[in-house]
A and B are shown apart, each in its own frame.
Chain A
Amino acid sequence: MEFFKFKKGFLGILFLGIIYPMYSQGGWDIRYTPLKNIDSSFVGKQISIDIRKNEADTIKTKDFIVRSLLIKNSEDSIELSILGKKLVFKEDWNIYTDMGYVGKQFLESIENEDLKIKEMFLLKVYDCKILVKAKLFNVNNQLESLEFEIEKKKIKGILSIK
């Protein structure tokens, strides 16, 4: 069962390799920040969100291992209002033994796995939500540039570039 998720993630990478020149062989630029530490200093930075599974899902240790995100691959999802529609997206983590880049982590539509949100940047930090801009891609190319809000209570933390 675990490998089924692994394979789906792999197929996602394969698919993205076709539509978007995403290469990654060796390197790491991920810094993980728990929700409570997200402030205006992150505005303008490229980020990726770690979706919260439920209210109990919080960072419990100081030494959070980014690689542990892989364990819940495809499990955490979030409903976003995009283009006048409510769409549910799940995390698509692409982290290897020798690679981990913020720019290679995506959100993938549950209804249509070809639909992905990439290149997310933080625009504003409010008390209860954050405003981000991002790009929506389908299997062939970029569809739209988006701006949308995400409730903070749905976020466990964010990945930003070191």
Chain B
Amino acid sequence: MGYAGDVYEGEKQDSNDVCDKNSAAYDFCKCYPDAVTCNTIDLPEIVIDKCDPENVNYDFCKCNPGWCDSGDCNDPFSYTYPCPYDDIGDCTDPRSYAYPCDPCNSGSIDYDACLCDPASCDGETPTDSQDPPAEPDPEKILLVELINKLCSGTMKAQVAKAFDNNRLSKIEVRIVDEFIDNGLLGLHQVYDNNGKLLEWDNTKNDFNGTPSYLPDGSYSNAVITIYRENIRQTCTSDGCGNAQYYGINMTLEESVASTFSHELNHNTDLEFIIDLRNRREGKSSQNIDPHQNITPQEEQVWNELNNCN
């Protein structure tokens, strides 16, 4: 057994010579103190002036920050300002549609339909309100094709708007071919967050529940019903539907199409939809009538159909 410091037989001891290359104490500069590589040289500091226009390294934006876009989306003077906002439904962020965190704010992750509107939950089995209606929807296709073959540009534009691929609002279309004694030629309804189909409550001047909304304020899911047999039963020698009472003779097909256009309008009339929601939530409201924006377009449709007949 050996110990530190022991020198065994045959083992060579370290010379501790700074010039012995085999020694642990070898030091080139101590051994050759005049060697050039061991001299300390004080070099002058070279400063490159990047703000000298004559300098090849001249940096205009660094030297003139007021003239250049910082590219920082947090800088209010930058073209990139503000930074893109990705609404992740953070109800604590005032920029989010979900703001504020309120169980009665339908955009909030804390939204609780049953708490805010207990009646909407009675006897209902909650479903995912985002579930789209069953596809394909042959009745929708039929009505869209009908409108596209008629001569009203206003109706065609309305269909294009309602079924734009970028619109997330889903519309289920139903055609009723038996007489229903409800006085209606058409009907527009919306779903709440629990998948319950809401009715219009005339005493409340609102739906009988809280509709499910998309971030842009439109309805998530709607159902449009066209009572085709009811429309047919309004037909006289003066035409079909309400238009006949305003001096316009429309065929059954034209009346069905204009009724569909009327109901589509209810689903795209964001001015009214947002105003109604504001009123319900106690915010500033203009008390817009549901037909305030619909009637002028309907009148336009009737005129267009009348003029090309």
Contacts of A103 in B (CB 8 A): 202
Enumerate 16 A-B pairs (CB-CB under 8 Å) in ascending A order.
A2-B248, A3-B247, A6-B299, A10-B299, A17-B287, A17-B292, A18-B287, A23-B206, A25-B207, A27-B199, A71-B245, A96-B291, A96-B294, A97-B185, A97-B259, A99-B291
Interface string of A1-17 (1 = CB under 8 A from B): 11101110010011011
The 8 Å CB contact of B202, one of A2, A7, A29, A65, is: A29
Report how many A-B pairs have Cβ atoms within 8 Å.
108
* A17 in contact with B288 (CB, 8 Å): yes
Chain A: interface residue count, which band?
Answer: 35 or more
If over half of B's interface residues share one DSSP class (helix, strand or loop), that class is named, otherwise mixed; here it is mixed
Q: A23-B276, A95-B242 are in contact. Are A28 and B183 (CB under 8 A)?
A: yes
Q: Which parts of A1-54 form the interface with B (CB within 8 Å)?
A: 1-3, 5-7, 10, 13-14, 16-18, 21-30
Query: Does B184 contact A26, Cβ atoms closer than 8 Å?
Result: yes
- With beta carbons under 8 angstroms apart, the residue of A2, A23, A30, A99 that contacts B246 is A2
Q: Is the interface of A mostly helix, strand, loop or mixed?
A: mixed
| Candidates B184, B244, B246; contact of A98 at CB < 8 Å | B184
Assess the B186–A98 pair: CB atoms within 8 A: yes
Pair A68/B184 contact, Cβ less than 8 Å: no
Q: How far is the CA of A3 from the CA of B256 in the complex (A)?
A: 20
B241 / chain A contacts, CB cutoff of 8 Å: 97
CB distance from B254 to the nearest CB of A (A): 13
Whether B259 and A25, one on each chain, are in contact in the complex, defined by CB atoms closer than 8 angstroms, is no
Contact of B183 among A6, A16, A22, A100 (CB under 8 A): A100
Question: Are A3's CB and B246's CB within 8 A?
Answer: yes
**Does B96 lie at the interface of the complex (its beta carbon under 8 Å from any beta carbon of A)?**
no
CA distance A26 to B265 in the complex (A): 13
Interface residues of A (CB under 8 A from B): 1-3, 5-7, 10, 13-14, 16-18, 21-30, 65-68, 70-71, 73, 95-101, 103
Are A26 and B245 in contact, with the CB atoms below 8 A?
Answer: no
Decide if B183 touches A70 in the complex (CB within 8 Å): no
Cβ A24 vs Cβ B185 within 8 A: no
